[in-house]
Structure 1
Amino acid sequence: MLAVTACGGGAGQANSGNAGKNQTAGAANTGAGWNTASGTEGSAEAGPGSITLDQPVTIEFWHAMSGHLEEVLQQLADEFHNQSPNITVKLVAQGSYDDLSQKLMAAAKAKTSPTMSQAYSNWQTEYVANELIEDLTPYINDAKVGLSAEDQADIVKAFMDDNAWDGKTYGLPFNKSTEVLYYNQDYLDKFRLGVPATWDELKTAAAKLTTNINGKKVVGIGFENSVSGNLATYVKQAGGEYVTEDGKIAFNSPEGERALGFLYDLIVTTKTGRLAGEDGYMSDPFGRGDVAMYIGSSAGTSFVDSAVSGKFKWSTAPLPKDKAAASPFQGTNVIVFQSATPEQKLAAWEFGKFLISKEATIQWAKETGYVPVRGSALEDSEWTAFIAEHPEQKAASQQFDSAFGEPHLDGYNKLRTDVSKQIDEVLHGQKAVKEGLASAEQAALNSLKP
């Protein structure tokens, strides 16, 4: 029986995992998320490579992609089928991420799980605990169907850390994004400002840009409504810790006070910053010229481009840092359910392996705004040519070295939600910083109680 309730996830949700530097192609050391240093040099005896796919097999892949994203995913599935004619990938859209999460849990209880699915890592924590999803370590290490040491080292380390539990790998990275600073170049030029790279520079620029520009009241910096759930980013940038891997609540600290104070000063005290509020997301206020800059998902570039519609020059930059750089990487992984047949599991592994190939990850990134998951992709001529034409897509991958995710803790999703409610009260001026941190700490402790 499942011991925990379904967790929700959304575009702004951060992934689980440990911070780590990108391992580029040919690197000597594999990422901590991998489980071998020798690649596929092990024995294939009785492993996945001993299974043959000489008969047609159909696998069902549940996902939460829609619109153009779903179209691109279908294109990739069709390309994979052309390469592997015996494997048919049936894509099944399940609505939003919350819908997908709920349907996956219901299917698990009814023993009707799909072969594979998208999943956030905090969902995976529950699935691993309940023995619902396949350990992919034997597939990774298999001499016949696995990944070479070079391929393993090529995957961005933080993304594979995101899939690691107790030295085993339970997923592969898929649609990954981070947060970036969007900025109106015309506004910056008008006030002879450079792109802010630090908190102090951001505060200075926001103050100067909060004024009337061309007859319009402008606010310097915008934040998504979800910023209250992303306190970890600012705590880490201030040099602190949010919640440790062993479950210690660490954000009620001098660094935490500095982090929340930074946001409070911008949004509440000086009003040189604002939340998205009723606009929902900051792309529309930014496109209207109501805010000069904002911090939001790197996967939102297409929405920004549509909102701006050529009215002004804009681009993106890495997140401004304080004592340290810290970038929350977000998005889902691809998992395989234990209930599938051996042939379906192998077919799902082959499709997952295809999705993380250099060619597929470049195609996916170019079409969707997500980032490539391989270091070699960033150096590929196809990607560098694309970046030259679309420089706004570069900032996300520049932050691989400062990537971090959430700890793999049971109940972490509830913790994050409960803390967010307390921080939200601070950012709406209903609580002082110290009071908000104290109440958030208590909420976090309560959320982790059995």
Structure 2
Amino acid sequence: MRKVLVVMLAISILMTGMIFSKTVVTFWESMGGDLGKTLSQIVDTFNSQHANIEVKAIYVGSYATLQQKLLASAVGGGLPTMSQVYSNWTAALMKSNVIQPMQTFIDNPQIGLSKSQLDDIWEPFLKANTWNGKIYTLPFNKSIYIMYVNEDALALAGVSIPKTVPELIKDLPLLTIRDSSGKVIQYALGLRTTVDTFEVFLRQNGADFINSDYTKATLDTPVALETLQTLVDMIKTGDVLAQGGYLDGPFGNGQIAMYIDTSAGMSYTANSVGGKFSWTIAPVPAWKTQAPPFAGTDLAIFNTASPAEQEAAWEFVKFLLSPQIQAFWAIKTGYLPVTKSAIETQAWKDYVASNPMANVLVSQIPYGSSDPGIAAWSQIRNDVGTLVSDAMFFKMTPQEALRLAQQEVTKDLQSQ
């Protein structure tokens, strides 16, 4: 009898362990501050609804730290189940063959996505997550470049929000205010002297740093020269505040009437303005086209995890893409909803009713452009950024800067 009880107890303990065992998903992320708190809420909600899965969101620090850790782990081992990734990180990680393509899960008839579910993801995002016809990653925290506008300043000058680059240039002297000594007390526009500013205007001008098949630098070209020369000429007018740092502070202080940055900075701008004046956002002024760059990361699942862990991570990815979660994430963080169904939720509609600027963001998604998904992109940006900055600070001519950039980017592409 005693042996029977021992056996029954052992079976009971084993079954209890099986019932309460969970598949753990480790998720490396770089969402600090309030963003991290919002992500924690989402993770907690998912875990409460999935008794057999536990997602552990692990904050690893800055994006630079995350990149270094991922690339090192891809070689030395220790990758998480899933992580945030930029597209150029994905390209580098693909060389180590550690990414499990999302296509594997999407096409699974039991746990995959239907055509309508896949079509629900905005096409520009889906395109940026695709390599050689296969979806490797899926979008997560996405923002887009927009123009921040001091409505009171424009109203005082009798100027409408410029819709094109020529209109923007024409309005610069009208929005600049100088005191009796000629000192500028309000600049028309703020521009960061960074690679991002050049990239925004170059995309609007219908071009990029490299060609469409990522094989050739396209910086020593008439369109690139026109773009950089235009930026330099705007700065030379004295109507533009050009600096490397963020511009929400000068905007909030009334030092600039307009500036261009990502939508991820909207909460910072709101805090800087603090109700001192009426402000809004608008699309980046168009040039030859409308193609404002997206910013932000995607989600990758790694094949170094067990099949059970990968499937559990996939369940979490699907949860993140669900309409209610997408609406919650976008409302709480200011990031873009990456699915169309999110903007059909009542939560989003209620939010837009009191925050009409959100409509501007969504309206720009179909026109947005993504960075090339190549491993060399970080180095390309660094090289172009250094030279473009030199041109905007008048250390060299735009033509000199672009000729050097052409040479550096050519080397970067050859080193891939």
TM-score normalised over the length of structure 2: 0.91
Matching of residue 158 in structure 1 with residue 124 in structure 2: yes
How far off its partner does 1:54 sit? 9.0
Deviating 4+ runs (over 3 angstroms) = 52-55, 212-216
- Does structure 1 retain, via aligned residues, the 8 Å contact 2:143–2:263? yes
| Counterpart in the other structure of 1:449 | 414
For residue 296 of structure 2, give the secondary structure of its aligned residue in structure 1: strand
How far off its partner does 1:241 sit? 4.0
Identity of aligned residues (%): 34
The CA distance in 2 between the partners of 1:213 and 1:124, in whole Å, is 52
| Counterpart in the other structure of 2:293 | 328
- Does structure 1 retain, via aligned residues, the 8 Å contact 2:293–2:370? yes
- Does structure 2 retain, via aligned residues, the 8 Å contact 1:229–1:419? no
The CA distance in 1 between the partners of 2:280 and 2:372, in whole Å, is 32
| Counterpart in the other structure of 1:221 | 189
- Does structure 2 retain, via aligned residues, the 8 Å contact 1:53–1:343? no
Query: 1:353-392 alignment to 2 at 5 Å?
Result: 353-392=318-357
Q: Which amino acid aligns with 1:239?
A: G
Describe the superposition over 1:142-169 as per-residue Cα deviations: whole angstroms up to 9, x where unpaired: 1111111101111011111121112221
- Does structure 2 retain, via aligned residues, the 8 Å contact 1:132–1:338? yes
Moved more, 245-254 or 137-146: 245-254
How far off its partner does 1:186 sit? 0.6
Unaligned runs of 5+ in 2: 1-17
Query: 1:149-228 alignment to 2 at 5 Å?
Result: 149-212=115-178, 217-226=185-194, 228=195
Larger helix percent: 2
Moved more, 382-391 or 113-122: 382-391
Q: Which amino acid aligns with 1:153?
A: D
Moved more, 251-260 or 294-303: 251-260
RMSD, aligned α-carbons: 1.9
Residues 53 and 138 from structure 1, CA distance in 2 versus in 1: closer, same or farther, beyond 3 angstroms? farther
* Higher Cα Rg, which structure: 2
The CA distance in 2 between the partners of 1:428 and 1:422, in whole Å, is 10
- Does structure 1 retain, via aligned residues, the 8 Å contact 2:203–2:293? no
- Does structure 2 retain, via aligned residues, the 8 Å contact 1:229–1:417? no
Residues 131 and 213 from structure 1, CA distance in 2 versus in 1: closer, same or farther, beyond 3 angstroms? farther
Matching of residue 256 in structure 1 with residue 224 in structure 2: yes
Residues 103 and 240 from structure 1, CA distance in 2 versus in 1: closer, same or farther, beyond 3 angstroms? closer
How far off its partner does 1:409 sit? 2.5
| Counterpart in the other structure of 2:375 | 410
The CA distance in 2 between the partners of 1:381 and 1:418, in whole Å, is 45
Q: Which amino acid aligns with 2:326?
A: T
| Counterpart in the other structure of 1:247 | 215
The CA distance in 2 between the partners of 1:208 and 1:386, in whole Å, is 35
How far off its partner does 1:377 sit? 2.0
Q: Aligned match of 2:265 in 300, 303, 306?
A: 300
Q: Which amino acid aligns with 1:349?
A: W
| Counterpart in the other structure of 2:397 | 432
Matching of residue 311 in structure 1 with residue 279 in structure 2: no
Q: Which amino acid aligns with 1:335?
A: A
The CA distance in 1 between the partners of 2:19 and 2:309, in whole Å, is 9
For residue 292 of structure 1, give the secondary structure of its aligned residue in structure 2: strand
| Counterpart in the other structure of 1:275 | 242
Q: Which amino acid aligns with 1:133?
A: I
How far off its partner does 1:213 sit? 7.8
Q: Aligned match of 2:69 in 79, 99, 103?
A: 103
Residues 241 and 68 from structure 1, CA distance in 2 versus in 1: closer, same or farther, beyond 3 angstroms? closer
Matching of residue 113 in structure 1 with residue 79 in structure 2: yes
Matching of residue 73 in structure 1 with residue 39 in structure 2: yes
Q: Aligned match of 1:348 in 283, 298, 313?
A: 313
Moved more, 110-119 or 391-400: 391-400
How far off its partner does 1:282 sit? 0.5
How far off its partner does 1:108 sit? 2.4
Aligned pair count reads 395
How far off its partner does 1:53 sit? 11
Query: 1:389-400 alignment to 2 at 5 Å?
Result: 389-400=354-365
The CA distance in 2 between the partners of 1:239 and 1:121, in whole Å, is 21
The CA distance in 2 between the partners of 1:224 and 1:345, in whole Å, is 41
Q: Aligned match of 1:87 in 24, 41, 53?
A: 53
For residue 250 of structure 1, give the secondary structure of its aligned residue in structure 2: coil
- Does structure 1 retain, via aligned residues, the 8 Å contact 2:291–2:367? yes
Residues 96 and 53 from structure 1, CA distance in 2 versus in 1: closer, same or farther, beyond 3 angstroms? farther
TM-score normalised over the length of structure 1: 0.84
